[in-house]
Structure 1
Amino acid sequence: MAAPQLDDPLLRNDCHSRLNPTRHARIERPRSPEQVADLLHRAARSGQRVAVAGAQHAMGGQQFAEGGWLLDSCALDGVVEFDRTRGLIRCGAGTRWPALQRFLAARRARSGEGWALRQKQTGADDFSLGGALAANIHGRGLDLRPFVEDIEAFTLVTPDGRIHRVDRAVAPDTFALAVGGYGMFGVVTDVTLRLAPRRVVRRCVSLIRRAELHAAFEQARADGALYGDFQFAIDPDSRDFLDLGVFSVYLPCEGTPDAAHQLSATQWRELLALAHTDKTAAFRRYSEFYLATNGQRYGSDDHQFGVYLDGYHDAIDARLGHRGSELITELYVPRASIAPFLAVLAEDCRRHGTDIIYGTVRQIRAEHETRLRWARQDWACVVLNVHVRHDADGGRRVRADMQRFIDRALELGGSFYLTYHGHARPDQLRAAYPDIDEVLATKRARDPQEVLASDWYCALRDALRGAAA
């Protein structure tokens, strides 16, 4: 894993794992659907393939095309239309969550009431709305389906350069393919989101063990909690590893949001360093902070935003003496299987020396709208940040780690998320996504020239083509 040439304007990499340095032949930043259509026409005539990038947080190569053209959606931004009556907002696909949040906050009543986003990814904020649609993301809602539920409509430029307005009624097949389709079926240029009334919620925090977790989530839902998660201990030398965790839920309440008690950037840097060098101390500090916020009130939108430190790993690399980063994996199991699954993961990590830097458990409701569907049933979702050394051995180790984790989830009737890496074997892909061969066949039928062909798509196509179903 050679260090990327950061001064190369045609080189892009993902923001978090930094494991996808990719040099493109050209990078274009269209400002309208018509300019996107023109770009796709030119690419088709030139025999070039195109990938579409938003904020570049995916880690499986979905937004890059080695030697191809990169369509950077950053100029497709801003609010196009806001329907205050129905709670619908149309934004450019390159719009980031903080910009949307600022727009909505400026239009709240003095009481704080107004429209708010329903869910977004947590852990970072600078994601694009188009990327959220392409990956069919989710947040930490306790009773929410993936992002598809929040989408009213979108504008899509298909590989043949045609511009379509897509919703469930007008083009249901295209809607189902494009949402969660990672850019295979067209370039999304704007998205109309369904907003929710902004509410005040109270954070309730406790320390519990994995054996209590399923019942705790069920009780939180019964109590009316809207959001929640479980952030677990990460020290494999401790009996608490993937067992003891901070359980936080957010219940609707009266009143106004409190002045937020937050960790500073410096405190976050210290915590991230400790997560690599003294994991027990890291969890102790983190849990102490969270317990101190018990009872704090937040806006239902505000608590979904946080701090992400770009380039945080540079200082950690200097301390560790090697280049590295974290690769994320997201695994799903039936909700009642969460305790045995965490126990199996803990045993697996200890046996193989897998270095967990952070982990959390969330909940997700099933959806039945998209074709490349990951939320096939109600899941418990385990997110793991795994430390990776940027050398050949590190690459081999993390590939083996990712495949073992997927096997453990599949053994319990579970699944995994495609966004974070491309290490899954063909048999794992087909087990978790039974329709994946049919979806790729539809892709080839709709885009026979494979104009929209990211590195992720090409690797997926070749892997499945080379392995009999």
Structure 2
Amino acid sequence: MNHSNDFPLVNDVHSGLNATRVAEIIAPRNVAGIGAALAHAAEHDLPVAICGARHAMGGQQFGHAALLLDMRHMNRVLDFDNVNGLIEVEGGIQWPALIDYLEAAPQDGAQRWSIRQKQTGADALTLGGCLSANVHGRGLRMAPFIADVEAFKLVDANGTPHLCSRQRNPHLFSLAVGGYGLFGVIASVTLRLAPRRKMRRDVSVIGLDDLPAAFQQRIDAGYVYGDFQFAIDPAGNDFLRRGVFSCYLPVDDATPVDASGKDLSEQDWRDLLALAHTHKTDAFARYAAHYLSTDGQVAWSDRLQQTIYPDGYHRAIDDRLGHCGSEMIGELYVPRERLCDFMHEAAADFRRHGVDVIYGTIRLIEADRESYLPWARQACACVIFNLHTEHTVHGIEASNAAFRRLIDLAIARGGSYYLTYAAAASLRQVRACHPNFAAFLEWKRRLDPQQRFQSNWYRHYRDLFAAEEETPKALA
């Protein structure tokens, strides 16, 4: 077990808006190390926060004055069942290492296995973190990540490990997947794999109003993955109304993989992101031209889900803009038949309030019937917005206000939003979109009565609900 007090100030990688001073950092290397860290926390009466790769930006991986468990050293493959397509990995393993392992591992028979889905935007996220946020990818007919989780080992506040699955400790299973690290430490995850297939990327540029039918046509034709990257220039007629539609169809595994080197380099991504801040029409035109040039490209189903995340990309942009900023992400869910009118109203709102959209995408998600805090309570379209945010009080509040307006647009259509990103929502919005939240907090109090596992995210929502309980009710 490695103790480190060298970096007591931590922050998230993407937004840089979660600077938190922690009591100390411990990086356990096994279950015994987790237990020792928890015993140390109990001895010194310290709350415990749990982090992985630090990409999450809602404050769920850090806690002020908490002992921070850095899980990245627990990154081994523990077991691989290549007959049934199951793999057990430690919670700190990141997607690239898992994909590389499966590609290189000897596998019996003709069937080869790999991941089914992963989150997009960045690869270097831990499996434990993905389970805790119940992430999703760009599958056209896939439920959130909980559907891919066979089981996991959870270490509670007393250092006791519990095997959680749909058969063993099912209630704890449902609470911890999408439970943001509040019920214990994810020591290992057993993942359901999928056949590794070659897939062809088919690309077109289409209008938003044609998107619902286009998605359905792709699903009917057997496409597995797909998304729609929309135009971001509010001065243009195509703003949020036109986009790059890319979908992936399984092909015969004898089909050659494209080795032309057409993928964007890290510098290409940096250039595109800079353009998205300064010349939005040019950024979309360049992005669309690149993807159209890859129409028909063939890749493996796991590799096509990987992407380049240019760490620290915003520093060069800050130099150009003359201020410190980053992108805040929000994700909204609406019934698929309400997608177009949601986007039209969002575009009008962004123009009215001068909201600076840097990039965004539309995907599909199936309903989650298993987690205690499901964000996809029905099959829906999910819309992701990345908003440029100046690191000032005014800039942060402007982005939070924009997300609150978007949440209201989603609520008006029977939709919801993702809890993982900035905690902008009002209590009314939390209750409307996540009706189990108060009961979720009560289960937290029951199962962790010492409140050992805490985070800035948890404290925010605990206090939000507590403030309502303490508010005197009006006399009848």
Query: Structures share a fold, TM > 0.5?
Result: yes
CA distance in 1, matches of 2:449, 2:107: 51
CA distance in 1, matches of 2:423, 2:42: 26
Deviation, 1:46, is: 2.3
Deviation, 1:247, is: 0.6
Other-structure match for 1:103 = 101
CA distance in 1, matches of 2:134, 2:106: 28
Deviation, 1:380, is: 0.0
Structure 2 residue identity aligned to 1:9: F
Structure 2 residue identity aligned to 1:222: D
Other-structure match for 2:257 = 257
Other-structure match for 1:164 = 162
Deviation, 1:369, is: 0.7
CA distance in 2, matches of 1:256, 1:133: 34
Other-structure match for 2:303 = 302
Query: Residues 421 and 463 from structure 1, CA distance in 2 versus in 1: closer, same or farther, beyond 3 angstroms?
Result: same
Other-structure match for 1:246 = 244
CA distance in 2, matches of 1:112, 1:256: 17
Other-structure match for 2:125 = 127
Equivalences for residues 1-400 of structure 1 within 5 A: 9-107=7-105, 114-254=112-252, 255-259=255-259, 260-400=261-401
Other-structure match for 1:465 = 466
Deviates more, 1:103-112 or 1:173-182: 103-112
CA distance in 1, matches of 2:422, 2:157: 25
Deviates more, 1:32-41 or 1:248-257: 32-41
Q: For 1:16-55, what per-residue CA distance to the aligned partner results, in whole angstroms no more than 9, with x for missing partners?
A: 0000011111000111112212222332232211100011
CA distance in 1, matches of 2:171, 2:110: 39
CA distance in 1, matches of 2:442, 2:366: 28
Other-structure match for 2:474 = none
Query: Residues 112 and 399 from structure 1, CA distance in 2 versus in 1: closer, same or farther, beyond 3 angstroms?
Result: farther
Deviation, 1:115, is: 0.7
Q: Residue 44 of structure 1 contacts residue 449 of structure 1 at CA under 8 Å; is this kept in 2? A: no
CA distance in 1, matches of 2:75, 2:271: 34
Q: Residue 160 of structure 1 contacts residue 447 of structure 1 at CA under 8 Å; is this kept in 2? A: no
CA distance in 2, matches of 1:171, 1:72: 26
Q: For 1:124-158, what per-residue CA distance to the aligned partner results, in whole angstroms no more than 9, with x for missing partners?
A: 10000000000000000000111001111111001
CA distance in 2, matches of 1:216, 1:186: 42
CA distance in 1, matches of 2:300, 2:208: 28
Equivalences for residues 432-447 of structure 1 within 5 A: 432-447=433-448
Structure 2 residue identity aligned to 1:169: Q
Q: Residue 83 of structure 2 contacts residue 108 of structure 2 at CA under 8 Å; is this kept in 1? A: no
Other-structure match for 1:4 = none
Aligned-pair RMSD on alpha carbons?
A: 1.6
Query: Residues 111 and 344 from structure 1, CA distance in 2 versus in 1: closer, same or farther, beyond 3 angstroms?
Result: farther
Q: For 1:101-144, what per-residue CA distance to the aligned partner results, in whole angstroms no more than 9, with x for missing partners?
A: 11011126799961110000111100000000000000000001
Deviates more, 1:7-16 or 1:351-360: 7-16
Deviation, 1:395, is: 1.6
Deviation, 1:191, is: 0.4
**Secondary structure at 2:468's aligned position in 1?**
coil
CA distance in 1, matches of 2:431, 2:124: 32
**Secondary structure at 1:271's aligned position in 2?**
helix
Other-structure match for 2:403 = 402
Other-structure match for 2:453 = 452
Structure 2 residue identity aligned to 1:457: Y
Other-structure match for 1:3 = none
Q: Residue 400 of structure 2 contacts residue 422 of structure 2 at CA under 8 Å; is this kept in 1? A: no
Deviation, 1:8, is: 6.0
CA distance in 2, matches of 1:396, 1:459: 16
CA distance in 2, matches of 1:281, 1:303: 25
**Secondary structure at 1:466's aligned position in 2?**
helix
**Secondary structure at 2:362's aligned position in 1?**
strand
CA distance in 1, matches of 2:402, 2:15: 15
Q: Residue 104 of structure 1 contacts residue 115 of structure 1 at CA under 8 Å; is this kept in 2? A: yes
CA distance in 2, matches of 1:367, 1:341: 22
Over 3 Å off, 4+ runs? 108-113
Give the gaps of 5 or more residues in structure 2. Answer: 472-476
Deviation, 1:265, is: 1.6
TM-score by length of 2: 0.95
**Secondary structure at 1:17's aligned position in 2?**
coil
Identity %: 50
Q: Residue 228 of structure 2 contacts residue 363 of structure 2 at CA under 8 Å; is this kept in 1? A: yes
Query: Residues 319 and 112 from structure 1, CA distance in 2 versus in 1: closer, same or farther, beyond 3 angstroms?
Result: farther
CA distance in 1, matches of 2:250, 2:38: 47
**Secondary structure at 1:99's aligned position in 2?**
helix
**Secondary structure at 1:386's aligned position in 2?**
strand
Deviation, 1:410, is: 0.8
Query: Residues 113 and 265 from structure 1, CA distance in 2 versus in 1: closer, same or farther, beyond 3 angstroms?
Result: farther
**Secondary structure at 1:164's aligned position in 2?**
strand
CA distance in 2, matches of 1:392, 1:50: 29
Deviation, 1:465, is: 1.4
Q: Residue 108 of structure 1 contacts residue 114 of structure 1 at CA under 8 Å; is this kept in 2? A: no
TM-score by length of 1: 0.96
**Secondary structure at 2:311's aligned position in 1?**
coil
